[in-house]
Amino acid sequence: MEEENQIILVDKPAGMSSFGAVARVRRELRDKFGHKVKVGHTGTLDPFATGLLILLSGKNTKRSNEFLKLDKVYEATIKLGYASDTGDTEGNIEKKNDREVDLNEIKEILKSFVGEIEQRPPKFSAIKINGQRAYKMARAGKDFEMPTRRVTIYDIEILDYDYPFLKICCHVSSGTYIRTLAEDIGEKLGVGAYCLELRRLKIGNWDVKDAKML
Tell me the C-alpha distance between 41 and 199, whole Å.
17
Contact 11, 55 (CB under 8 A): no
Annotated active-site residue in 11, 31, 46, 88: 46
Decide if 125 contacts 47 (C-beta within 8 A).
no
Tell me whether residue 162 is one of the annotated catalytic residues.
no
- Residue 168 near residue 40 (C-beta atoms within 8 A): no
Chain centroid to Cα 60, Å, comes to: 23
Of 136, 190, 181, 184, nearest in space to 156 by CA: 181
- Residue 68: its H or E element: helix 65-68
CA distances from 17 to 23, 46, 107, 126, 175 (A): 10, 7, 33, 11, 18
Burial 30-53 (b: 16+ CB within 10 A, else e): eeeeeeebebebbbbbbbbbbbbb
Are the CB atoms for 168 and 159 separated by under 8 Å?
yes
Enumerate the active-site residues.
46
